[in-house]
Structure formats: structure tokens, C-alpha cells
Structure 1
């Protein structure tokens, strides 16, 4: 799995961080999401899929 995060679309809701804290974080200055791991392990896949689902800006795209 590879994660693509469009920071220009991100609205800093933090939902991805809540769903997959090992994979996503937020910048201190503006709350925009950042990737901690663009190719996470298979065991985090359910959390990453949840993060994609709950993103209100549709800023997360998964490549499986």
C-alpha cells in the first residue's frame, strides 16, 4: 500500500491522525496533515483505510 496525501486539499480536521496516528501527523503551524510513513506495514492498513474514509477533504488516496 502506498499513500498519497494532497496537502493542498487538506483542511486540517485531524481525522486522519485520529484514525492512524502511526502514519499521519499534523504540522504545528497550521494543522495540515503530514505523512509519517508513505508505505506503511500491512498491519496498519485498516487504520489507513479508515483515515481515507473519514477525510472530509478527500485529501488521502491509497494505491494498493
Structure 2
């Protein structure tokens, strides 16, 4: 595996495309030549959560 400290913008775009297409984190990691834990950390640290509203909440 590569011993690089940072992911490039291109790497992040590949991760985003993989997630959109339903690829597993392991397959994304294999594509990038990175550890699956690196991909999991990247997703956890840089993902954006949508806020859901409850229409009948009082």
C-alpha cells in the first residue's frame, strides 16, 4: 500500500463516485491502493449529513 499522508481531490472524487454507485468501501480502497480504514476515515470526516425535519413535531 502507498504511504502517502493525504488524499488528492481526484481520490476524493473517486470515493464520491464509488459511494454514489453503491461500491463497497473495500472496493474503493482497492481502486485507490489505500487501506479500507483510510477510506472509512475519509468518509466519516468529510461527509455531510442532511437534516431531516419532522412535520408533526411539537
TM-score for both structures, normalised by structure 2: 0.32
- Identify which of structures 1 and 2 has the higher relative contact order when contacts are C-alpha pairs closer than 8 Å and 6+ apart: 1
Greater percentage in strand: 1
TM-score for both structures, normalised by structure 1: 0.30
Greater radius of gyration (CA) = 2
Greater percentage in helix: 2
